[in-house]
Amino acid sequence: MSEVENMARLEALLFVAGDPLSFDDMATFLGVDRDEAVSLVEQLKRRYQRDPMSGLTIRQIEGAASLATKTSYADTLEAFYGKVRDLKLTDAAYETLAVIAYNAPATRAEIEAVRGVNSDSVVSRLIERGLVREVGTLETPGRPALLDVTEQFLMDFGLSSTRELPPVDLLMYDTITEFTQEKQSAAEIASAPRPLVIAIDGPSGSGKSTIARLLSEHLGILTLDTGAMYRALGVKALRLGISPSDQEAVRSMLSETTMDIDLSDRVQKTLVDGTDYTPYIRTPEASRAASDISALPVTREYCVRIQREIGKKQALILDGRDIGTYVFPDAPVKFFLTASHEIRAKRRLLDLERQGDPSTLEDVMRDMEFRDRQDSERQLAPTRRADDAVLIDTSDMSIREVVDVMIDVVRQREQVQPSWSQTRHG
């Protein structure tokens, strides 16, 4: 049986199964070995991801997979089913679920430490409802139980896995944020000065980092190059001999990785496990590794958490791909920079030449095309202009002109929202 036929058979099988089917069962029904079944599922999943005309996707839950609908069509389905996710949970239950999903496996004491209140009865109710289960005990005195969310929870919330898939991150982050915000009075929120966040997104070579640096000097606001974070993690993976696309290997790498961003002397240092990776992250290999590793949900969760933490504390310019759409969707000032393919490639070539890299324009264009496609077609947080971002085509503009336009926009917005607290440096 050819691979194409096997994919068609797998699709038919998952369609009639409805519920998640284990890889072992799939292998038996299809007459292939388990590894082949896993690979067929991956291929089918990629096919759905790439096909904008398909409303389907594959949902994987620990050793099993099922056919599911893309979360982007939830509105249509909600209209069809009525409110599918109306679980009528209390705020406390939502928050406890979020804490468990985010920190799993978690003990009752850890949940209490995060929520600040005893949560035992909420946890018991969640266990009764089948949304949380005990998955083991901790090897410490008293052997406290370790809790995790259940498959039922994942199914009810239309999620695939607590760690692997994007909606969990979005949902959990939003749940916690919403909950916290509900607890603050509306007046408090309105009057609290919020650090100014300026989002600059766009493809590589659009001039983001140079422009972010100049804007930073002009406005006296620190700037965070988020691409450097993905680059540094990509380089660490390569050094360890790990494929930057291997989700499981990257997950285990990240569990033992500490990343620190030092913005203290205006030139960003991206430290991984205490070592500054800045000198190693601008090579073509690092670019490819960054593009691969940044497509993994586990990496995004890791980096976005750090980015949000830094942006909460001080005024910040962030440049990246998904800052205005995902990391700080509420950023008051957003830009999306772009430029023609050739100009972007020439800019990148100049950067590489300065480092003594022998790449040709053709090499750079080919590489860039591949990365652009990968970065903008991935399912999770692709390079995309936020609806409220100011679009600037930098192809025929000097850097100075671009920066001037941006400063104007910032100044105009500042007049509307003077309560931004800008932690200026220098």
HSE-up (13 A, CA, CB side) for residue 273? 10
Q: How far is the CB of 270 from ligand DC (least distance, A)?
A: 11
Q: Which stretch binds ligand DC (CB under 6 A): 287-295, 336-344, 357-365, 390-398?
A: 287-295
Exposed / middle / buried, residue 372 (Cβ in 10 Å: 0-12, 13-18, 19+): middle
The count of chain residues that interact with ligand DC, using the rule CB under 6 A, is 14
Among 45, 321, 344, 347, binds ligand DC (CB under 6 A): 321
Q: Which stretch binds ligand DC (CB under 6 A): 96-104, 147-155, 244-252, 286-294?
A: 286-294
Q: How far is the CB of 204 from ligand DC (least distance, A)?
A: 4
Of residues 173-232, those binding ligand DC (CB under 6 A) = 204, 226-227, 230-231
Site string for ligand DC, 353-392 (x = CB under 6 A): ------------------x---x-----------------
Exposed / middle / buried, residue 334 (Cβ in 10 Å: 0-12, 13-18, 19+): buried
Please choose, from the candidates 274, 278, 248, 247, the residue with its C-alpha nearest in 3D space to the C-alpha of residue 265.
Answer: 278
Q: How far is the CB of 129 from ligand DC (least distance, A)?
A: 37
| Cα–Cα distance measured from residue 394 to residue 211, given in angstroms and rounded to the nearest whole number | 10
The one-character DSSP state at 144 is: P
379 within 8 A of 326, measured Cβ to Cβ? no
* Residue 102 structure tokens: 């985010």
Among 322, 347, 406, 410, binds ligand DC (CB under 6 A): 322
Q: How far is the CB of 281 from ligand DC (least distance, A)?
A: 8
Query: Whole-angstrom distance between the N-terminal and C-terminal Cα of the chain?
Result: 67
Q: How far is the CB of 241 from ligand DC (least distance, A)?
A: 21
Among 41, 126, 290, 349, binds ligand DC (CB under 6 A): 290
The one-character DSSP state at 361 is: H
Q: Which residues contact 36 (CB under 8 A, 6 or more apart)?
A: 6, 27, 30
Q: Which stretch binds ligand DC (CB under 6 A): 82-90, 170-178, 254-262, 321-329?
A: 321-329
Return the number of the residue (5 or 377) whose C-beta is nearest ligand DC: 377
Q: How far is CA 345 from each of CA 172, 277, 279, 352, 357, rounded to the nearest angstrom?
A: 38, 24, 21, 10, 14
Of residues 13-42, those binding ligand DC (CB under 6 A) = none
Q: How far is the CB of 84 from ligand DC (least distance, A)?
A: 30
Q: How far is the CB of 55 from ligand DC (least distance, A)?
A: 25
The one-character DSSP state at 263 is: -
Compute φ and ψ for 172, nearest 5 degrees.
-65, -40
Return the number of the residue (50 or 183) whose C-beta is nearest ligand DC: 50
Return the number of the residue (60 or 268) whose C-beta is nearest ligand DC: 268
Interface residues with ligand DC (CB under 6 A) are 204, 226-227, 230-231, 290-291, 294, 320-323, 371, 375
